[in-house]
Amino acid sequence: MTEKQTPRFLLTAPKSGSGKTLVTCGLLAALRKRGLRVSSFKCGPDYIDPMFHSRVLGAKSRNLDTFFTDEETTRYLMKRGAEDTDISVVEGVMGYYDGLGGIDTKASAYDLAAVTGTPAVLVVDTRGMSLSALAEIKGFLSYKKESHIEGVILNRMSPMLYPEIKKQIEEELGIRVFGYVPKITELNLESRHLGLVLPDEVKELSEKFDHLAEILEKSLDIDGLIGLAKEAEALECSEEGVPEALKKVLAFGQAAGFHEEKPRIAVAKDEAFCFIYEDNLGLLKELGAEITFFSPLHDPALPEGIDGLLLYGGYPELYAGELSGNVSMRQEIRTLLKNGFPCLAECGGFMYLHTTMEDMDGKAWKMADVIDGKAYKTEKLGRFGYIELSGNTEDREFLGKKAGILKAHEFHYFDSTSCGTDFHAKKPLRKRSWDCIHGTESQLFGFPHLYYYSNPALAAEFLSACVDRRRKGKEKQKGVTKQ
């Protein structure tokens, strides 16, 4: 086994809304101000929290998810994401023990701490309580024999009361208190239907996080947290350092000539399309792809010389009028995709491909008209959480079918009159299932968000479709030239 020291700690909480994101971003800013090279991760499938991390650090934050990836791959991704940095901060998800289906610790922050050997620090929102905080902390420490909780931060704690509560926690529970966070009214991260607002929507965000860092330097034991991070056990990975499934796919990519062909993939990225897993793009690059970005909102046309298209999720419903008004972009995408151009479109990108899409007020707007149907607003989350996808059609091939089971995540307040039927989605630990996704040999369109490292073969199949189309185009061009 090969091992490498990776200083790190995980910030978690008893429940959502306890202040994890605020404390995480403030600590990231404080560590960076100290001159440390800092990397960050988000536990679970969340897109928005990593955007805030990235805004603070000026570097990409990544997701770690033990539902999507096995233990070896999870440790590999953490080690790789932490390379060339001095310390890593991981933000947990929901409550510390909340995992699959709300009834299992699998895919929880606790599970990630256990799989990666990362010490956890519990952020306890003490608003409205004092001594009762000890009972809450004690419950989290004792729920699992090996809780991996090595410290506590008291959020929204009175500075006057803090010394006494800190003393009682450390004496009675034997757990270290790494400080407190006073009530901060000038920095409030607002929410909307899919979670927090985006970083670019918060005025003077960098200045606010710098101010938060100054506060935390005074109220938190940051030296102690750095020391805790250095105590984290070495990350254990396979002898070669690369998980077996990934190794096979990388070998396939080499044999298929992806690095020589360098398929050029256009990725939608703007205010409307911003839910992007950094590791998805990283895997495509590792296989040999070249990534270029474009804006369905602002650009009149797609980038030149592309071989494939990625339309990820975001908030297209907030920009429906502008997307509809960009007629040249809509028409170009429609023409390409109707002719089989390789494309993966998920959630918001899938909605954009409909004939019409409603905005937040229920007004329908013309979209790309690739899918004959309507994307419409609902009043509540229709399908929420992790799913496993399997091919649903026996009599034909389509992208992703050969890969086997694909793991994905759904979270949306919109639905479609044409969700597709080529895959069957099943919720783990639950009986609920349904059909979804439009699939062809070169395209997948549907609501599920896919994480490529959960099954790297999907990324290889997509690039194969891109390279095949390019080669066929060259052959066709040669035929025309000869004539």
Q: Which residues are known catalytic residues?
A: 347
Output DSSP code: residue 317.
G
Query: 453: closest CA among 311, 280, 313, 284?
Result: 280
Token pair in block for residue 266: 């256009």
- Amino acid of residue 82: A
Using an 8 Å Cβ cutoff, are 450 and 457 in contact? no
How far, in Å, are 153, 214, 224, 431 from residue 161 at the CA level?
14, 21, 21, 48
Q: Is 343 helix (H, G, I), strand (E, B) or coil?
A: strand
Which ranges of 202-347 does DSSP label H, i.e. alpha helix? 205-219, 222-230, 244-256, 258-261, 278-287, 320-325, 327-338
Burial call 119-132: b when 16+ CB within 10 Å, e when fewer:
bbbbbbbbeeeeee
Using an 8 Å Cβ cutoff, are 449 and 349 in contact? no
How far, in Å, are 344, 439, 441, 457, 462 from residue 396 at the CA level?
19, 10, 9, 18, 17
Distant-in-sequence, close-in-space partners of 106: CB < 8 Å, separation ≥ 6? 66, 67, 99, 100
Helices then strands, counting H and E runs in the chain, come out as 15, 28
Helix (H) or strand (E) run with residue 436 in it: strand 433-436
